[in-house]
Amino acid sequence: MDGVGRQWTAAVPVTPRRQWLRIFLGGLGLWLATVGAIFLTGNPTLLPTLVLLGSFLVPVTFVAWAFQRRDTGEVTVSLVFGTFLAGGVLGVLASAVLESYLLRPSVLLFLGVGLIEEAAKLAALALLTRHLAAKTVRDGMILGAAVGFGFSALESAGYAFIALFTVQGLSVVQVVQTEILRGLVAPVGHGLWTAILGGVLFSASSRDHFVVGIRLLFAYLGVALLHALWDAMHVIALFLTLFLTGTRDNRVSLDGSLGEPTPTQGALMPALEGLGMAIVAVIGVVWLVALWLSAQHGSGRPSSGLRVPTGSPSRETVLRP
């Protein structure tokens, strides 16, 4: 209160509605500037900047976009940032260890990868969000997307780093190509799949318990199947191409490509692969949208299933003076 009786109140910071767009455009500009600087100077110390900017740009943008659609005040910037980084790291580490010990080359390899990676991300999400008092479907989707995009960003950085090394030496062109490709498909990959799992997990859960029921099990298996189909699409397209146009003279190289393909095969195989990935992406997006709309209509919380304690203080304990 000042001398003339006017009352002053602290301004509440408001997040700009288009903050995600500013993040994307600013990050894209920095990434393009880094690419130009590397080609102009040939300075290898800029390569980590190139890898990190390119790998994290799209995931961070989508997490910022999702954050502005949160349901409760419990989903803060620090929580989203923490689930993005910690969830991504925990998911990547757990997947790497489990895959190295449990998987062997077989026809079920891709399904095994999908089951392990989706389980690792779901476990990381549950661990990092167990103390939330209100668990809504929308917040579960947002925090699930944060974990999934964190996983995607770290995985993309690994692929970009591997692409850097070739027989001819360091290849900046391959890094750029890898980051562009993975950036384009990132929105319909790990972030999408874990967002679905997060929404289903939170839909039946409360402050005190996560409920692991039939609905979550089917969601997990469905998402793992989408993941497996996405990873296996190159192989599926290869066999479809051989089935439709193949001859006895066709040979498959060690990298999964056709040796001396005909012009028809050279055009058909990438078309089939792209079509298959598009179908998998559409299924995932439709599933996510349906889950989002069901949350807006306030569908009831199913209570059947295994109740896993979160370790949070009970409501009675919190309200006790």
Looking at the DSSP assignment, which residues form a beta bridge with residue 170? 165
Whole-number mean pLDDT of the chain?
Answer: 86
Q: How far is CA 265 from CA 59, 164, 240, 247, 254, in A?
A: 34, 29, 10, 11, 18
Residue 299 has pLDDT above 60, yes or no: no
Is residue 114 within 8 A of residue 101, CB to CB? The reply is: no
Supply the pLDDT for residue 119.
97
Is residue 79 within 8 A of residue 145, CB to CB? The reply is: no
Q: pLDDT by residue (tens digit) across 189-209?
A: 999 999 999 999 999 888 888
Residue 156 has pLDDT above 50, yes or no: yes
Nearest to 182 by CA among 197, 160, 199, 213: 160
Helix boundaries (H) for 204-313: 214-245, 263-296
128/144 Cα distance (integer angstroms) = 10
Here the contacts of 33-38 (C-beta below 8 Å, separation 24 or greater) are 35/172, 35/176, 38/172
Q: pLDDT by residue (tens digit) across 64-113?
A: 998 888 878 889 999 999 999 999 999 999 999 999 999 988 889 999 99
Global pTM value:
0.87
Nearest to 291 by CA among 67, 140, 119: 140
161/172 Cα distance (integer angstroms) = 10
Q: pLDDT by residue (tens digit) across 219-272?
A: 999 999 999 999 999 999 988 988 888 665 666 655 566 767 788 888 898 999
Q: pLDDT by residue (tens digit) across 157-176?
A: 999 999 998 878 788 999 99
Supply the pLDDT for residue 320.
45
Q: What is the DSSP code (8-state) at residue 301?
A: P
For 66-86, the DSSP string reads HHTT-SSTTS-HHHHHHIIII
